[in-house]
């Protein structure tokens, strides 16, 4: 009888151990998906705010003359600023850092990197960090182009 109880105890410990490992993996996957979703929502919101800003008259804080997207900053959009990779005009949330990477009269690019890839305000080269980019080429909703996980220019 003692041997059977010992076998059941060992079996119970193995089952509990497997459940803990599976739970940790599920939590990690959920965290990654949540971070990606939050970054996606935020970068599209920033792109939409850039489009809204481009339609404003200069008297209401819009672009000066025909400069288009060339001069847009996070300050123009009403976002708080932080420093990322030496760029003092970045914007940060709990999940990611965002920057306006390139601007021209016809186009602006916004990049995001998850906080998993940033340490102390600079990129740490973490391969698991999510990178997203969008390109805005006009004021129409179809003018927001998701470029994905690559650096984008206009």
H or E stretch covering 16:
helix 2-55
Q: Are the CB atoms for 39 and 112 separated by under 8 Å?
A: yes
pLDDT (0 to 100) of residue 42: 94
Instruction: Name the H helices within 56-152.
Output: 74-77
At 136, is the secondary structure helix, strand, or coil? strand
> Tokens 């997207």 — which residue?
69
Ramachandran quadrant class, 141 (left: phi over 0; alpha: psi -120 to 50; beta: rest): alpha
Q: Distance between CA atoms of 19 and 41, rounded to whole angstroms?
A: 33
Instruction: Look up residue 62 and give its DSSP letter.
Output: -
pTM above 0.85, yes or no: no
Walking along the chain (154 residues) 10 residues at a time, the average pLDDT comes out as: 89 96 90 87 93 88 79 86 69 88 85 71 56 88 84 74
Give the CB-side neighbour count of residue 66, counting CA atoms within 13 A: 0
pLDDT (0 to 100) of residue 83: 66
Q: Beta partners for 74?
A: none
Instruction: Look up residue 115 and give its DSSP letter.
Output: G
């Amino acid at each position: 009888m003692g041997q059977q109880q010992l076998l059941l105890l060992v079996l119970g410990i193995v089952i509990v151990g497997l459940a803990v490992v599976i739970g940790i993996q599920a939590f990690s996957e959920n965290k990654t998906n949540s971070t990606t979703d939050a970054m996606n929502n935020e970068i599209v919101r920033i792109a939409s705010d850039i489009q809204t800003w481009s339609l404003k008259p200069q008297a209401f804080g819009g672009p000066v003359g025909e400069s288009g997207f060339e001069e847009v900053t996070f300050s123009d959009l009403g976002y708080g600023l932080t420093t990322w990779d030496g760029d003092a005009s970045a914007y940060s949330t709990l999940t990611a850092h965002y920057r306006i990477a390139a601007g021209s009269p016809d186009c602006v690019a916004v990049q995001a990197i998850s906080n998993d890839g940033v340490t102390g305000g600079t990129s740490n080269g973490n391969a698991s960090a999510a990178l997203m980019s969008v390109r805005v080429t006009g004021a129409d909703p179809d003018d927001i182009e998701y470029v994905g996980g690559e650096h984008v220019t206009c």
